[in-house]
Chains A and B, each alone.
Chain A
């Protein structure tokens, strides 16, 4: 059937045809004053009806069907054309003469007009790439930029990966002293904060959406107002500031407005550190530790491996002395005296659980024993049962003068810090294992006093304008200050924050704060090294940094963050061409020569009075009144949380789901009680108790925590947020309600009351003992020296010849991937878990699903306890996929969705997976993870932006697991193939390996005899987990060797020797 209209409708006809308006206007019986136009149309209509005969005639003439749109078109007579011409003369003309040229002209003009409106001029700012120079920018290839991720003010150098303008991943900056290329979980997770869909997206003025311009107007008006009185009535509250630019601007502000006040408050207080230095040296200093030089380390309630400025670096330095050479010569020894079981405690060779408030007595006794004359009459001592530990410790420290190190917990009071300074001086450690430097923050310490003064000012009505630049004091200020109540007395309150949080909610103005990946800035690391914070992306929303807000206060709102930071540094950069130096600083991520110089030995001006005290470890303290279910006089220790820190990460799903390294609890905080105390009070996990101190109380669930000191309970901060966002709201309980200015961190007279209620706790590891299985193989240094191959005799791998079948691949050729995890170096910090989650787009499943046992982490860090529940040791074991050469999962998959590759990878083909889950059942390591529901958020745009474009987003019903970061292997393999060679050592770095602060994970080609993995696989310590099942795992472990003090043999530490477990 051929359809070929004889008279193709010309475009000019359309308007006439599509004009029903005229027809509609003439309804029967309606009198219309027709316009001339309409009248002519009537005339046309009449004419048209007359032409109907002609139409019929034409139709009859046509053969075959003919489609027509209107009778006019059909008729197509002269009069119709005429009508069109008269009605749309310009159209008739243009259609007639619309040649190619005019068409192109028209199109060109409209394109240009469209294009212009869609374009905004981007600010011209330079961002210098770290690795790949701009000319190498290849679409699809990520670039890395050096910047910083800071926590509580202290900067940590990072390299942020950018995929076509989207930052997707954070890695450590190898050139930065606090990172050395590694990261912690917080740094890894900070990328998710950038894309948090709950971030505030606009400036808010008293609950209404406003703009930055209006905010600047308000700021200017306020500044003009206070300017008349030299700044009186103006207060600024910041968190700890190490940023030189911001500090300089604030100082300038204070100069301009001399009566204005700058307050600083960080809930995780370091006041004790500076007050202690003040006490010892009469000046404030920061301490930089050199764990790599210390043979014996004593931690007094310090979690230097898990938190605090420089902890990533410290973990690296510490672990460098735990990785064994063949003789085990270099092994250090760690003593930990602490109340709660911290990450550092789990890595101790000897750990003594005592209450945090007893640390001072312990330290006094230690100082006295080490020869501090002023304390000769001090009666502090330990009980007889702890005396062997104490004496051995003293001897060990004395035997390692200048090569030992004593570290005090940051939350400990000034006296402890002062004493520790004295002890380190007595042991001649200053200058060798530690250095004193100028304080890193611009205004160090005294933050409790600062926030108290601010609250008093607010109460007294002295403050007219309060600018809160970051922080969330309504949530985390000490409870006894009643900050929220006083805040409402301030006439104008402005809060700069990433979220409309508790503080923003009570402020007049909320200004959206930039993420560090969106803004220019700077910051100092734990040793004073300054770095520039450079943005990778324009702010997603109308956000400003603290620097820009202060600039607005100074009347320089026209200056961009870049100008401000650059102007500051151009004057101060090292000699040379400032432009070059600036670019060098951006490129390297550190500004050369900015680390603070060691101050050397400082004169001690310290007079501490001797005191009488009960011996440490004596069963004093809590009084248990069974009639009232009350426990009095117990110690409550408030610690920052290993996932939430001070609460700023509450809306970060990755961190919420990262189990705490020791308790393995996630999605909520718990009240950690020692097993003996729990037994005495018949408390069980998930029992809700009310804990109180003074007038303040809070209720939360109990977690019986082996290793917790008796008479002391540990509670972590950062939970119970009210306005964190969809993820963090209402998770856990708010321990800040116990925080007081009198006793920050350590509350000595707490009370616990049972409520009889229960609350669910999400715990990812339900069983805590290794059941005498040789999973983590460990021995003492002594055993190791006598039996270097002790790990080989705990279980026996079947010989390779014991099979009838040929291996499917020849594993002796090409790249063969393998991983070795050094259990001596692994501190259990979980950085690998979060890094893997960021790299491999691992979904967050939520508390309920975690409790259902469906967490999705591809690598987990198992933690097993050993020994007496009150004084156990704990060991960590990261478990990724083992990539078994004889993989049990592969043989049972009915559709071949999990298969082996020629380079020894156990691969998962998501597209092919039907979800029988048999592979998971048959995996002895249980590393496979199943998408029981649609876990990935497929809707939220910002979350999509974070995802690694090289990794598939898995749908519901599909199994997944560790791939050895196959996307990274592929990149290296393609590169190598193009050059016609094999992938070389160091070209593939897995996400977990890259993040690991201690370099515990090695990855590479086991066929390459020079590779690190090949070398480590030949170590006598190398063993395969459950290798007796003949799985032939490619991931292997280096057995743990501990270094207990021989004088304390049989007491603490791992005493298992040859043949541990007894089943070979």
Chain B
């Protein structure tokens, strides 16, 4: 049953924000729209295109990892003094991107921001894949990756433990916890929908496989009750993680003595940056997906608008971080700090620094305008720019601090080699490959949650 609204009614009902979802959608319509994607016989050509490119990049990943394991980290552009480079930049970048998922799922859930329902599944999946990409880097950047497990506190005959004062050990806990909780959260949220898929599935294989992963969900009231409790608990568990993971990652730098790293502002500044980049990535991915798979009714301009607002807010925090860094470098009176800042702004990496200010600080100011926020193409472009800017930010932090530190005799320049780039592109391959499979087999929006909204909307309207 479809209803037509006049513009006046529209305005009256939804305010200036526009509808959260297409008000003409029915409960059945939601199921058809979302579950219809995995049930399709074939996927649109864009899907094959992305999968094809991603598979190629995945080959790069395999090649660069193999070469790395055979030859050593010397393949990369690393040197003394710049002993961390692309690997750490990419690690922080991917981890940052992974932040949107939990924030959307957990914090917005606790704050009862219903609009999150249309994007949370997708964002969570993105988080998982991004964290997986991120996780590869600290592992591969080890000189001897085959003994990575020495970073875990496992009982062993030599009674040797990790060195708990090192932020790299904190990292291990932070990232692995984050990955586990994100996975659980994502999977828990999927169960009712997997049951839907099982029930809708017409093929035997589909029924069995979805059935296995649906864990026997029958939709009884008891199921629903337990589900709600579990989900709430997981949301509560995840919430501190949103803050903790990137805080810990930032401590990798802040704990050191290096000018440019040794900064107390890093934890909040990194968290804000992470959410910033995470949302930028969600928007980057969601805009083409809603277009290609006809989900414009479910992921509406209002979603984009809301996400853009969060980007604007976190972007301003990040920009504030940049200003604070510069201010304290000057205010500290510490010659090394002052030099570090001068070197960033006017040294050999000044271009990258000012590009970062442009990408992360200035361009997002366009988001103050509602028309920009709701213009999908402009918004898409801004998000791409922000993603590049956030990568540059990490590059500037890692490289410029290291390449000229205390003793000028050791100063040197850094640049990634083709192997650095190949590995980075390779993780893109992994990310998109996984994302395409996710779109192919799993409902990318939470059907039941959107149905609740539809249901609530209808009730509200009928009242």
Contact = CB atoms under 8 A, between A and B. Distances in A.
Interface in A1042-1062: none
Interface of B is mostly: loop
Nearest to B409: A862
Interface stretch (B41-49, B56-64, B73-81, B319-327): B73-81
Contacts of A860: 409
Interface in A902-947: 912-918, 920-922, 924-926, 928-934
Interface in B148-203: 148, 150-151, 160-163, 165-169, 172
A682 B320 CA distance: 44
Contact of B160 (A765, A912, A956): A912
A726 interface: no
Contacts, number: 164
Interface stretch (B123-131, B254-262, B271-279, B446-454): B254-262
A29 to B, nearest CB: 58
Nearest to B166: A894
Contacts of B141: 916-917
Interface string B245-281: 0000000100111100000000000000000000000
Contacts of B408: 767-771, 773, 775, 864
A914 B147 contact: yes
Nearest to A957: B143
Contacts of A727: none
A204 interface: no
Contacts of A766: 411-413
Interface of A is mostly: loop
B335 A930 contact: no
Contact of B144 (A773, A852, A879, A915): A915
Interface stretch (B93-101, B291-299, B386-394, B399-407): B399-407
A343 to B, nearest CB: 17
A556 interface: no
B410 interface: yes
Contact of A849 (B71, B74, B168, B413): B74
Interface string B334-347: 01100100000000
A401 interface: no
Nearest to B151: A894
Contacts of A928: 80
A773 B411 contact: no
B163 A894 contact: yes
A772 interface: yes
Nearest to A917: B83
A754 interface: no
Given A888-B256, A913-B143, A957-B143, A920 B407 contact: no
A70 interface: no
Interface residues of B, number: 51
B378 interface: no
A109 interface: no
B316 to A, nearest CB: 30
Contacts of A248: none
Contact of A922 (B82, B161, B258, B410): B258
Of A929, A958, A1026, which is in contact with the most chain B CB atoms at under 10 Å from its CB?
Answer: A1026
Of B73, B74, B79, B151, which is in contact with the most chain A CB atoms at under 10 Å from its CB?
Answer: B74
A924 B257 contact: yes
Nearest to A861: B409
A896 B160 contact: yes
A39 B162 CA distance: 78
A892 interface: yes
B84 interface: yes
A766 B256 CA distance: 24
A914 B142 contact: yes
Nearest to B253: A921
Contacts of B255: 891-892
Nearest to B74: A932
A790 to B, nearest CB: 19
A934 B166 contact: no
A917 B143 contact: yes
B378 to A, nearest CB: 40
B72 interface: yes
Of A852, A917, A925, A934, which is in contact with the most chain B CB atoms at under 10 Å from its CB?
Answer: A917
A853 interface: yes
Interface string A871-898: 0000001010000000010011111100
Contacts of A879: 407, 409
Contacts of A206: none
Contact of B406 (A925, A929, A956): A925
Given A765-B409, A922-B256, A924-B407, A930 B162 contact: no
A128 B412 CA distance: 50
Contacts of B160: 895-896, 912
A933 B83 contact: no
A405 interface: no
A924 B406 contact: yes
Nearest to B169: A894
A296 to B, nearest CB: 32
Of B72, B169, B409, B410, which is in contact with the most chain A CB atoms at under 10 Å from its CB?
Answer: B409
Nearest to B256: A922
Contacts of A1025: 407
Contacts of B409: 765, 767, 860, 862-864, 877, 879
B143 A930 contact: yes
Interface string A327-355: 00000000000000000000000000000
Interface in A552-607: none
B84 A854 contact: no
Given A888-B257, A958-B143, A1026-B406, A771 B339 contact: yes
A864 B411 CA distance: 13
A1063 B335 CA distance: 8
Nearest to A845: B74
Given A957-B72, A959-B143, 4 more contacts: A860-B409, A893-B163, A917-B84, A930-B80
9 closest Cβ contacts across the A-B interface? A915-B143, A957-B143, A853-B79, A932-B74, A917-B83, A862-B409, A894-B168, A896-B163, A926-B410
5 contacts: A775-B408, A853-B79, A895-B162, A914-B148, A917-B143
Interface of B: 71-74, 77-84, 138, 141-144, 147-148, 150-151, 160-163, 165-169, 172, 252, 255-258, 333, 335-336, 339, 402, 404-413
